[in-house]
A and B are shown apart, each in its own frame.
Chain A
Amino acid sequence: EAGVTQSPTHLIKTRGQQVTLRCSPISGHTSVYWYQQALGLGLQFLLWYDEGEERNRGNFPPRFSGRQFPNYSSELNVNALELEDSALYLCASSLDSGAGTGELFFGEGSRLTVL
């Protein structure tokens, strides 16, 4: 069974540009989560999507946005890139939206470097 897949794996952008990161969850998983892992800051919750709807959002500016498609895949968009957006962006999926299990299955991440 394929795990969570993310693309691209690495990318370099310059300040002010826009980037789109993509995530395909494990087959059958309806919830997708995005986390930012910046150096020295640990993992910060960005977004949670379930059944095509944004269910929760972390403390990030509006230039971070995303969506979930009918096939449950997801995109994370970051506009007007800033240097501090350089990070590993991790996507995770879970079988359902229930808060009880909490087991997330993570992808390998997209490493974004902003110059």
Chain B
Amino acid sequence: AQTVTQSQPEMSVQEAETVTLSCTYDTSESDYYLFWYKQPPSRQMILVIRQEAYKQQNATENRFSVNFQKAAKSFSLKISDSQLGDAAMYFCAFLEYGNKLVFGAGTILRVKS
């Protein structure tokens, strides 16, 4: 079974600064999908960004980008120009066979004004 590890239970960032959230995973598959989901307090979880393993290029969505290192099985999320609305729990996830998303334990991101 695949495992996803988020080693940072909590991170803080100053508004307008950049922060990087770490994620590592373990798999024997060669082609797979990785995701970052955001869960704001008392609100629905939403997809932030998606990466397909066979694509060399790192995914980018506006202020959000990933650093995908396939050989190292690392998938970090970089948030640039942090905003107060970015404060949330962030989950890294791996799509396993059978449409099963395997989530990491999550990282709480606090944004300071």
B: contact size bracket: 20 to 34
Query: Size of chain A's interface in residues, with CB distance under 8 A?
Result: 29
With A3-B44, A56-B98, A104-B47 already in contact, the answer to whether A43 and B33 are too (CB < 8 A) is no
**Chain B interface: which of A62-70, A72-80, A94-102?**
A94-102
- Specify which chain A residues have a CB less than 8 angstroms from the CB of B52 in the assembled complex: 100
* Residues of chain B having any CB pair with chain A under 8 Å: 33, 35, 42-47, 50, 52, 91, 95, 97-106
- Specify which chain B residues have a CB less than 8 angstroms from the CB of A56 in the assembled complex: 98-100
- A89 close to B (CB within 8 Å): no
Instruction: Return A113 CB to nearest CB of chain B, in Å.
Output: 16
- Mostly, the B contact residues are strand
Contact between chains at B105 and A33 (CB < 8 Å): no
CA distance A90 to B35 in the complex (A): 17
Contact between chains at A55 and B99 (CB < 8 Å): yes
| 11 pairs of residues in contact across A and B, judged by CB atoms under 8 Å | A4-B44, A33-B101, A45-B100, A45-B102, A99-B95, A99-B97, A102-B33, A102-B35, A104-B47, A105-B44, A108-B42
